[in-house]
Amino acid sequence: MGNEGRMLMFLLLAATDTAFSGKWTATVVRNIDALVSSCVVLPCSFSHPKEQLPTSRLRGIWHRLSQQDQRFFHLDRTKILEGFQDRTQLLGQLGQGNCSLEITQVKDSDNGPFCFRLELARTEDDKDTPDKFSFKEDCVTLNMLSEPPKPTLTHRTTAIQGHPYIVSCSVSHTCPTHVPTVTWSMGTSRDVMTIHKEVHAGFWEVQSILTIIPKSTDDHAEVTCTALFYGQKTSSNMFTLFVKRKESHHHIIVPTVVGVGTTVIFGGVCMLMLKKYKRRIAELQYQDRIRSESSEPPRANQSRPREEHVALNHLSSSSKAGAGARFCKPFLPSPRR
């Protein structure tokens, strides 16, 4: 390899070296919702050519896109736009590449764009590298919301009396440093579970899960979920609870059981009585037959002549003894004794 070749190789190496270490990059969410009077967090992370520098050697600034000297945030409070003093702060550590900005008491005019600028403290040996950079390609614009978003309710249409019933209420926001609080018109804090999660970069969701054991008196009750945002704005959503009665079959089952039971007992008693009387009647008839047989000689066919005899007897006695004796006659011993 000649001198020219060595020279080319050196240049190539030098070029790759700068390409890998000399990068100013910032990652932001370019459009984010901001609720007026509340707060918003602009997520931001960055990298710079020096790669590893402590927070003390870094200065983070947020400024207007058009005028760099109009600052939304600066460590020196006097260098901040008057309307933004005490309303902005950097979250996280610049040393960890975190440039997230929190804005509180959001105003209708706070739409931006907000641009991050990084300044590195100078040292003797790095005079050649640029030590300041404004990430004007990655600025943040706020989408102002005058009213908070309405919570979303998720639940089954009907509850069953005495069975756990779960209702979920979710509300979105963009201020993870001051999360909205969700309250319910029913149940206590012990019946509630809260989940906080980032849905996508910069957009968060609070989910409140209420579990109740509905009573029959809760039928047609209005269940309201209210979200209280930082800055006192509220939004709510409601639904009417329908409780299906658990003992709804009792008013059919109980009278049926009672009715059937009574019938069975009554029927049983009747049968017993009937059986007893039948036996008694049979006994009496048997006694009567014994008596009549003892007074008459046995015949081949007993029943027909006996009937004739009774009929004759009946005719003869009706004239003598009257109606009262009629029923007793067949049971009495024959007068032809």
Ligand X SMILES: *[C@@H]1O[C@H](CO)[C@@H](O)[C@H](O)[C@H]1NC(C)=O
Q: Where along the sequence are the contacts to ligand X (CB under 6 A)?
A: 45, 91-92, 98, 100
Beta carbon nearer to ligand X, 36 or 175: 175
Closest separation in Å from C-beta 65 to ligand X: 23
Closest separation in Å from C-beta 243 to ligand X: 42
Beta carbon nearer to ligand X, 42 or 243: 42
Beta carbon nearer to ligand X, 92 or 149: 92
Beta carbon nearer to ligand X, 28 or 80: 28
| Listed residue (104, 106, 232) closest to 180, CA to CA | 232
Closest separation in Å from C-beta 133 to ligand X: 19
Beta carbon nearer to ligand X, 159 or 175: 175
Beta carbon nearer to ligand X, 151 or 202: 202
Q: Where would I find the beta strands (DSSP E) of the chain? A: 25-28, 31-35, 40-42, 44-47, 58-64, 71-73, 88-90, 101-103, 114-120, 132-134, 141-145, 152-155, 158-160, 165-173, 181-184, 192-200, 203-212, 222-228, 234-240, 242-244
Closest separation in Å from C-beta 92 to ligand X: 2
Beta carbon nearer to ligand X, 177 or 185: 177
Beta carbon nearer to ligand X, 28 or 241: 28
What six digits make up the tokens of 240? 């009417």
* Residue 178 near residue 230 (C-beta atoms within 8 A): yes
Closest separation in Å from C-beta 251 to ligand X: 58
Q: What are phi and psi of 67, to 5 degrees?
A: -120, 115
Distance CA 32, CA 246 (A): 48
* Residue 141 near residue 66 (C-beta atoms within 8 A): no
Cis ω for the linkage preceding 330 (within 30 of 0): no
**Which residue sits closest to ligand X, CB atoms considered?**
92
Closest separation in Å from C-beta 26 to ligand X: 11
| Listed residue (118, 93, 116, 99) closest to 44, CA to CA | 99
Question: What CA dihedral angle connects 17, 18, 21 and 24, to 10 degrees?
Answer: -160
Question: What CA dihedral angle connects 26, 31, 37 and 41, to 10 degrees?
Answer: -30
Distance CA 329, CA 244 (A): 71
Closest separation in Å from C-beta 45 to ligand X: 4
The answer for 162, left when phi > 0, alpha when psi is -120 to 50, beta otherwise, is: left
Closest separation in Å from C-beta 90 to ligand X: 9
Beta bridge partner(s), residue 114? 64, 140
* Residue 41 near residue 175 (C-beta atoms within 8 A): yes
Closest separation in Å from C-beta 198 to ligand X: 9
